[in-house]
Amino acid sequence: MKLTIYQVDAFSSELFGGNPAAVVPLDTWLPDDTMLAIAAENNLSETAFFVEDGDDYHIRWFTPTIEVNLCGHATLASAHVIFNELQLEDALIRFHSNRSGKLPVQRRQDSIVLDFPAYAITEIEPSDALALALGVVPVKSWSSVNNGVLVRLNTEQDVRDLKPDFNALAQLEYERIYVTAPGETCDFASRMFAPKIGIAEDPVTGAMHCTLIPYWANELGKNKLLARQVSKRGGELSCEFFGDRVKIGGNAVTYLKGEIYVEAGSGKSVGA
């Protein structure tokens, strides 16, 4: 079976920035183990697969080790492929996910805007093990959905300077560690670590902002925010808070288009 594959740099207007995601359009779903094998072979933080479903698109996301409930940058990359490579003329894409519901995506001039759920947080006592793994004592910490933990530090420079122990992070109960602080030239800065699910550090994480946008909107008293993820590759996100929803905007650039070959139903990639 021959499949088309795209690799897109999401949350970036230039190549080699933002977060690379693989996108594989499908006519019908492949077996789960085949999609996971493709994601593992790609060795990117996420690979997105989508199937047209009437006027909508059913979308799923895989890390190299698991299927995840939601992925922002791979959804942005998928929308970029549909708009620019598959030549959709409409300005609206209606994605839906069995795990995260309706996920509309809109093209606005030169950017793509995701409409995602807003996630609540619950304050918890900072964990000694978490502080030791991060190499810094959190100012505060909160639990989040999808087995995540949100950690606040004092300054953006504190976030930039982190040199976590990834082996220690992988031993924690949390699958995702979000670290944030007030921004120097933006409203807030962040980094995201998830070695437990096969991602040491995610360069730019759209889904994390489902948690960060409500927090910082309430903290700063404003509903429109500019965010930067200060990983090595880095990325910029325009953010809006709408109570139970958030909007996350960014750019994307196609890096490659190619073909992959799999044995139907085997769960094994056999070449590229």
Q: Which residue has the tokens 């093209």?
A: 107
75: closest CA among 220, 248, 233?
248
The answer to whether 123 is a known catalytic residue is: no
Question: What Cα–Cα distance (Å) separates residue 203 from each residue in 60, 72, 219, 248?
Answer: 20, 12, 24, 16
User: Which residue in 14, 46, 175, 184 is the catalytic one?
Assistant: 46
Phi, psi of 20 (to 5 degrees): -75, 135
C-alpha 180/C-alpha 111 separation (Å) is: 24
How many Å apart are CA 112 and CA 108, to the nearest integer? 6
Token code pair at residue 226? 């500019």
The token duo for 108 is: 């606005």
CA distance from start to end of the chain? 11
Beta bridge pairs of residue 5: 258
User: In terms of residues, how long is the chain?
Assistant: 272
Question: Which residues on neighbouring strands pair with residue 154, listed in sequence order?
Answer: none
Catalytic residue numbers?
Answer: 46
